[in-house]
Chain A
Amino acid sequence: MNSFLAVFKRELKSYFTTPLAYVFLVIFLFFSGYLTFKDGFFEMRQADMRVFFMNLPLLFVFMVPSAAMRLWAEERKVGSIELLFTLPITIMQAVLGKFFAAWLFLTIALALTFPMVITVCYLGNPDIGLIITGYLGSLLMAGGFLAIGCFFSAVSKNQVISFVLSVVACAVLVFAGMPTTMSYLSMFLPTGLVSAMESMSFQTHFESIQRGVLEFKDLSYFVLLIIGWIAACCIVLEERKAG
């Protein structure tokens, strides 16, 4: 447990000792605000954060892999992985330590979007429950993307390669559930397969949580997704740590 906490603490601090955290936060906050207002936040004349949450998956497709790409690729490139795994730390503790540190960092980024909440509350009487489930869904989605990024970061020593691979993997999972993709696929794929793809997509589960309904199937989708990719990351690291 202590080793997990040590890795967690070190990793979280390392975001803020390098310019990475600040660059990431500024860009994320700028675009999350910009996309919301560009897509007609005022024109809708409704005090809710639907537009804000609607744009998050697209933003996360690029932003989360950029926060995750260094997790293991850098350790392997610099060689500090040799130090880490000659200390009394198991691979699982190290992977979880890094994952949760990065997740907390993304939570901080999401928490810093609080001016949006204040704006909405100032302009009208929003449904607070909806906003809370919206944030919860966003957090779970960030965790899912992060687990994918974590895996691809362990796959390659090169941060650019791991970034590109995780962006593609995240984008596939998001776009698989978009209405345009669905209608295109249903032209030549059997309905069963199309709906299977839809239920595997981030978008579907994220939207369902956003509507304010916390269903077991949506929660378990994200939890299983995270566990699966993290387990895969542990296996890949065990194989490749010395490569």
Chain B
Amino acid sequence: MPNKKTALAFVALISCLILSMGGPALAGDVLKMASTTSTANTGLLDFLAPMFQKDTGIELQFVAVGTGKALALGQNCDVDVLLVHAPATEKKYVADGFGVDRKEVMYNDFVIIGPKDDPAKVKGLTVIEALAAIAKSKASFASRGDNSGTHKKELSLWASAKMAVPEKDSWYVQTGQGMIKTINVASEKAGYTMTDRGTYIKYADTLKGNPPLVILVEGDKVLFNQYSVILVNPAKCQNVKSDLAKKFSDWITSEKVQKEIGEFKLLGKKLFIPNAK
């Protein structure tokens, strides 16, 4: 059977391909980080990771998930360090002993965006007034609905507006997806949503600076969005590389890197403002 030979050659070829991969090329140290979709989708982490490797020789591997899942990955000892943005949840996380050494890194702010013609007339209102106006007009509102930092923030805003989260109302849509996908849902429905400013700028940049949804509510103090770095607690997770995690935490809060974060821009606008102490 001559074809058997061909088949054998084929199998050998595939086996070679697989064996050739080996491990990740006996590289140096690897630090695993769980972060949020906003830091990855804006390109900030792709910008910082090579810089970190150059400065320290450590390779930063990051997974971009919602803050809820990022914290869970840390709790399960699957990553070494976290870069997240849900301060209240983070403080509880540290108090519960899952994380240590929480340090503030940078902030941006949340904004409420909506169609240019603004059917619910929220432009210039405070957040609480704006949410009430959207609910009253029954204009569409897209919520992340995914337990992410942004979602947690939105839920807290409904609470401060003394309104129940309108989960059952047909104008309130929970996408369960990332920020840009949620903005796209709002856009398709000519409705409103809340987003961090960094992701909004990235969205506007992708649409060549002419997006259908524009910023309508901003500058309200409650819209502050703080990002922090947290080390996974080595006392709970003996496998984590807490020395490398510490190096990263020191590095990202160092003067030099803080300046770089401040210079990370799209459409000429800053996406994150460094504020490490």
Tell me whether A and B are bound partners. Answer: no
- Could you list which residues of chain A lie within 8 angstroms of chain B, going by C-beta atoms? none
